[in-house]
Structure 1
């Protein structure tokens, strides 16, 4: 059984494991004040092209989202998310558990627009309702789409005009930036969004996300929020070492490019087989629509998520490739597909 279920089924890239092992008996300060974390933070600042940002390393995406969003918002303020957004449907109400409502916007392609956000603002006009304050987006999105630079410029401009915080979930940021359709660079982001994180868990690290806070008003006391939310790892070196390895050369992008290439092989074979897709997703997640009978056959050899029922006879599945996906596994899936098609 080979898994196309997610991009964190494997452990970590050997280069990261080697660095963790070689540094294992070196004594270091805790809570992110070790030499490895400090070096990683400086390296990330260099990569994003801004020395005035704050960088914090946390262990996972949900933890990063709930810690950041709850820190950025006052008690009566709410977040706005696409209806497919991770904080809305896949984080067990983590944001709501911190006292902040998540307001949903239906988006066909999983991407928020100024018009969608404007409609939420108009629907919450006064103090009898929560106050929309933070706009949550992810790149790539939950359905594999990516934001183009002009889209972020327009959304960011609208947020600034309306005194909103624009926050980007970057769990799969590597895949988005390495997509053939992408026109963004990592160092564009501090000018376009107020805060974002760089996902390591889904791109070759054992665990870890690097939160980058760009807006000065959001920076104060953030380590207090981390500690209170259980997000300050005593052995912070484990995160620092991994992010240093990911960014000291091109490893972060090499791994994302591999994941995208494997997805591209699958996508091209499906297109040639005239398979329809639920959504346009130029990243490492693809959503083909198959007859339910074919899905049952494929499930005998491969694991994946059945994403959405299309009608009585057809469903969309989600295929996710990773930094470690084997080319022969992709070729095997394609051959199996051809046999049953």
Structure 2
């Protein structure tokens, strides 16, 4: 059985493992106050051309989203806007709601947020002071459907956020895959310009764990370490994350790994597009393909895939995810099996 379920089936890239092993007995202070985290922060700020931003290291994605959104929504009646397929809306166990804040969801367009829905929500809620009031907008790049935002789309969302005094938060759990997409036109140096905060996913791109949060808005920087501690988001051994991100960004390994994953996904799409229908356009390392339930059962004898949607009684959508560690030979075997069904 070979897994195409997600992009974190393996633990970490060997260069990171070597670096952690090499520094295993090096003594430092805890909680991220160490030379490894300091180096990683500087490498990230240099890579994303954001010298005035603050960088913080988290252990996991849901924890990251919860802490950031809770920092943006300072009053209990404030809410966050997101599409209906957003990770915070469907895959985080009600974490945001448990913090006392509402998610105002709107229809997705191929997984993405159209800024017209921000305006519609604001027009309604500003008129009625008995309703929750949005203070932030959440998007992810790449999205839950594997699509990526174009620069004009990001700018339009940013401008709408500024119109209504909303924070814009970009979830980058798969940011590497988005930035390395053949369809991408967002240069990494503009992310800090068109977001208040974004994060760089390590868990899904070669690190053993960890996400690097980049805060660009000065208002959110203040006391953010206390915010993290309040949400249990600071690891005593944060240097593991620091070592990981230093390795990922020292020689552009982060982007090399993401491109490798994307290339394999595009290969699968190119080989199968003449035979199968695809639920969404393949732009990153996630593939959503329509297939019969009978074919799924046969496929699962050799490969593990996710089945997120049922289209009818006989047909479903499978999700195939490639990663930095995907065996290219297994990709060829997967393609051959699906072509011969």
Name the TM tier (shorter chain). over 0.9
Runs (4 or more) in structure 1 with deviation over 2 Å come to none
- The residue that corresponds to 1:217 in the other structure is 219
Scaled by the length of structure 1, the TM-score of the pair is 0.98
Q: Does the 8 A contact of 2:122 with 2:164 survive in 1?
A: no
Q: Using the alignment, how far apart are the partners of 1:179 and 1:282 within structure 2?
A: 6
Q: Using the alignment, how far apart are the partners of 1:249 and 1:168 within structure 2?
A: 24
Q: Deviation string for 1:115-137 (max 9, x for gaps)?
A: 01111112312321111111000
Q: What is the root-mean-square deviation of aligned Cα atoms in Å?
A: 0.8
Structure 2: 5+ residue stretches without partners: none
Q: Using the alignment, how far apart are the partners of 1:264 and 1:307 within structure 2?
A: 20
Q: Report matched runs for 1:137-216 at 5 Å.
A: 137-216=139-218
Scaled by the length of structure 2, the TM-score of the pair is 0.98
- The residue that corresponds to 2:61 in the other structure is 61
Q: Does the 8 A contact of 2:60 with 2:203 survive in 1?
A: yes
Q: Does the 8 A contact of 2:202 with 2:245 survive in 1?
A: yes
Q: Does the 8 A contact of 1:30 with 1:234 survive in 2?
A: yes
Q: Deviation string for 1:222-276 (max 9, x for gaps)?
A: 0001111111110111110000000001100000001001101111111132x11
Q: Deviation string for 1:273-309 (max 9, x for gaps)?
A: 2x11111131000101011111111011111111211
- The residue that corresponds to 1:25 in the other structure is 25
TM-superposed deviation, 1:161: 1.3
Q: Does the 8 A contact of 2:269 with 2:282 survive in 1?
A: no
Q: Does the 8 A contact of 1:146 with 1:281 survive in 2?
A: no
TM-superposed deviation, 1:29: 0.8
- The residue that corresponds to 2:43 in the other structure is 43
- The residue that corresponds to 1:331 in the other structure is 332
TM-superposed deviation, 1:76: 1.5
Q: Does the 8 A contact of 1:278 with 1:287 survive in 2?
A: yes
Could you say what secondary structure the match of 1:192 adopts?
Answer: coil
Q: Using the alignment, how far apart are the partners of 2:125 and 2:318 within structure 1?
A: 36
Q: Does the 8 A contact of 1:124 with 1:131 survive in 2?
A: yes
- The residue that corresponds to 2:73 in the other structure is 73
Do residues 278 (structure 1) and 279 (structure 2) align? yes
Structure 1: 5+ residue stretches without partners: none
- Paired residues, what number? 339
Do residues 293 (structure 1) and 294 (structure 2) align? yes
